[in-house]
Structure 1
Amino acid sequence: MDFTISPEIEDFRARIARFVADEILPAEDLRANWDDHDNITYNAMEPLRAKARDLGLWCLQLKRETGGQGLGKIGMAVCYEEMNRSIFGPVIFNSAAPDDGNMMVLEQAGTPEQKDRWLAPIVRGDVRSSFVMTEPHPGGGSDPGMMQTTATKKGDKYIIRGHKWFITGAADASHFILLARTSDDPRRGLTAFLHHKDEPGWRIDRRIPIMGPEEHGGHCELIYDDMELPADRVILGEGMGLKVTQMRLGPARLTHCMRWLGLAKRCTEIAKDYAETREGFGIRLADRESIQIKMGDLAMGIEIGRLLVMKAAWALDQGSFAKKEVSMAKIHCANLLHKAADVAIQINGARGYSKDTVLEWIYRYARQARLVDGADEVHQMVLNRHLTDEGRNFWKWEPAKN
Structure 2
Amino acid sequence: MTARATAIADRVETFVREVVIPYERDPRIAVHGHGPPDELVQELRDKAREAGVLTPHILADGSHLTQRETAIVLIRSGLSPLGPLACNTMAPDEGNMYLLGKVGSPEMKERFLAPMVAGRARSAFFMTEPAAEGGAGSDPSMMQTTCVQDGNHWVINGRKAFITGADGAKVGIVMARPEGGEGASMFLVDLPDPAIRIERVLDTIDSAMPGGHAVIQIDNLRVPADQMLGNSGEGFKYAQIRLSPARLSHCMRWLGCCIRANEIATAYACQRTAFGKLLVDHEGVGFMLAENLIDLKQCELMIDWCAGVLDTGALGTAESSMAKVAVSEALMRIADRCVQIMGGTGVSGDTIVEQVFREVRAFRIYDGPTEVHKWSLAKKVKRDFLTAGQH
**TM norm structure 1:** 0.91
Task: State the structure with bigger RCO (CA 8 A, min sep 6), 1 or 2.
Answer: 2
Match among 250, 253, 256 for residue 247 of structure 2 = 253
Superposed counterparts of 1:320-359, under 5 Å: 320-359=314-353
**Cα deviations across residues 59-112 of structure 1 (Å, max 9, x unaligned)?**
22335323x6x3221111111111111110001111101111111101111000
2:159 equivalent in structure 1: 163
Matched, 1:206 2:200: yes
Match among 279, 292, 295 for residue 286 of structure 2 = 292
RMSD, aligned α-carbons: 1.9
Matched, 1:50 2:21: no
1:171 counterpart SS class: coil
Moved over 6 A (4+): none
Matched, 1:11 2:25: no
Contact 1:182–1:238 at 8 Å: present in 2 too? yes
Stretch deviating more after TM superposition (285-294 or 382-391): 382-391
Matched, 1:318 2:312: yes
1:142 equivalent in structure 2: 138
Instruction: Percent identity, please.
Output: 35
Contact 2:81–2:208 at 8 Å: present in 1 too? no
1:172 counterpart SS class: coil
**Cα deviations across residues 40-72 of structure 1 (Å, max 9, x unaligned)?**
444443343223223332222335323x6x322
1:221 equivalent in structure 2: 215
Stretch deviating more after TM superposition (293-302 or 29-38): 29-38
Contact 2:104–2:229 at 8 Å: present in 1 too? yes
Aligned residues: 386
Contact 1:39–1:88 at 8 Å: present in 2 too? no
Q: CA deviation at 1:322?
A: 0.6
2:271 equivalent in structure 1: 277
Matched, 1:105 2:81: no
1:380 equivalent in structure 2: 374
2:384 counterpart SS class: helix
CA distance in 2, matches of 1:225, 1:44: 32
Alpha-carbon spacing, 1:160–1:45, altered in 2? closer, same or farther (3 Å): closer
1:125 equivalent in structure 2: 119
CA distance in 2, matches of 1:132, 1:275: 44
**Cα deviations across residues 8-57 of structure 1 (Å, max 9, x unaligned)?**
11111211111111111122234455451274444443343223223332
**TM norm structure 2:** 0.94
* Letter of the 2:291 counterpart: D
Alpha-carbon spacing, 1:40–1:197, altered in 2? closer, same or farther (3 Å): closer
**Cα deviations across residues 292-327 of structure 1 (Å, max 9, x unaligned)?**
211111111111111111111111111111111111
CA distance in 2, matches of 1:360, 1:393: 47
Gaps of 5+ in 1: 395-402
Contact 2:82–2:208 at 8 Å: present in 1 too? no
**Cα deviations across residues 116-154 of structure 1 (Å, max 9, x unaligned)?**
111111111222110000011311111111100000112
1:90 equivalent in structure 2: 84
2:188 equivalent in structure 1: 194
